Amino acid sequence: MHGKLLLLAGLYLVQGLPYGLQSGLLPILLRARGFSLTRVGLAKGLYAPWLLKLAWAPLVDRRGSPQVWLTLSTTALGLVCGLLAALPPPQADQAGLPTTLMGLLLLLNLGAAVQDVALDTLAVKLLEPRELGPGNTVQVVAYKLGAALAGGGLLVLFPTLSWPLLFLLLAATYWLAAALAWAALGQLPWPQASEHTPHTSHLQDLLEVPGTLWTAGFLLIYKLGEQGASSLFPLLLLDHGTSVPDLGLWSGLGAVACSIAGSSLGGTLLVRHCLPIPAPRQQLSLLRFVLQLRLGGLACQTVLLFHLHTSGASLDADTVLRGAALLSLCLQHFLGGLVTTATFTVMMHCSQLAPKALQATHYSLLATLELLGKLLPGTLAGVMADSLGPHPCFAIFLLLSALPLLDLGLAPSLLA
- The dihedral through the CA atoms of 342, 16, 236, 317 has a sign that is positive
Q: How far apart are CA 282 and CA 416, in angstroms?
A: 8
Residue 358 belongs to a domain with what CATH number?
1.20.1250.20
Domain for residue 416, yes or no?
no
| Contact (CB, 8 A) for 82 and 171 | yes
Q: Domain span at residue 225? A: 2-187+200-408
Mean pLDDT, consecutive 10-residue segments, the chain of 416 residues? 74 80 73 75 76 73 73 89 82 65 85 82 71 71 78 65 79 86 64 44 78 90 88 80 71 76 78 51 78 91 82 66 82 87 82 78 84 82 85 90 89 68
Q: Residue 149 class from Cβ within 10 Å (0-12 exposed, 13-18 middle, 19+ buried)?
A: buried
Model pLDDT, residue 22: 74
According to DSSP, residue 49 is labeled G
Model pLDDT, residue 197: 44
| Contact (CB, 8 A) for 351 and 363 | yes
Residue length of the chain = 416
Which amino acid is located at 234 in the chain?
P
Domain for residue 192, yes or no?
no
Domain for residue 87, yes or no?
yes
Domain for residue 297, yes or no?
yes
- The dihedral through the CA atoms of 88, 166, 376, 306 has a sign that is negative
- DSSP H helices in 275-389: 280-308, 320-351, 359-388
According to DSSP, residue 93 is labeled T
Q: How far apart are CA 346 and CA 349, in angstroms?
A: 5
Burial profile 13-49: b = 16 or more Cβ within 10 angstroms, e = fewer = bbbbbbbbbbbbbbbbbbbbeebebbbbbbbbebbeb
DSSP per position, 356-400: GGGHHHHHHHHHHHHHHHHHHHHHHHHHHHHHH-HHHHHHHHHHH
Domain count for the chain:
1
Model pLDDT, residue 20: 76
φ and ψ of 96, to 5 deg: -175, -170
Domain for residue 342, yes or no?
yes
pTM value?
0.66
For residue 275, CA distances in Å to 105, 126, 186, 267 come to: 42, 18, 31, 12
CB atoms within 10 A of CB 95: 6
Model pLDDT, residue 198: 45
Domain for residue 21, yes or no?
yes
Q: How far apart are CA 82 and CA 6, in angstroms?
A: 28
| Contact (CB, 8 A) for 143 and 12 | yes
CB atoms within 10 A of CB 82: 18
Q: How far apart are CA 260 and CA 264, in angstroms?
A: 6
Domain for residue 415, yes or no?
no
Rounded to the nearest angstrom, the gap between the alpha carbon of residue 100 and the centroid of all alpha carbons in its chain is 25
Domain for residue 59, yes or no?
yes
Model pLDDT, residue 187: 58
Model pLDDT, residue 277: 43
Identify which of 254, 247, 245 has the alpha carbon closest to the alpha carbon of residue 156: 245
Over its C-alpha atoms, the chain yields an Rg (Å, rounded) of: 21
Helices 359-388, 53-62: axis angle to 10 degrees equals 160
CB atoms within 10 A of CB 62: 17
Identify which of 290, 279, 17, 65 has the alpha carbon closest to the alpha carbon of residue 182: 65
Model pLDDT, residue 401: 92
Model pLDDT, residue 264: 78
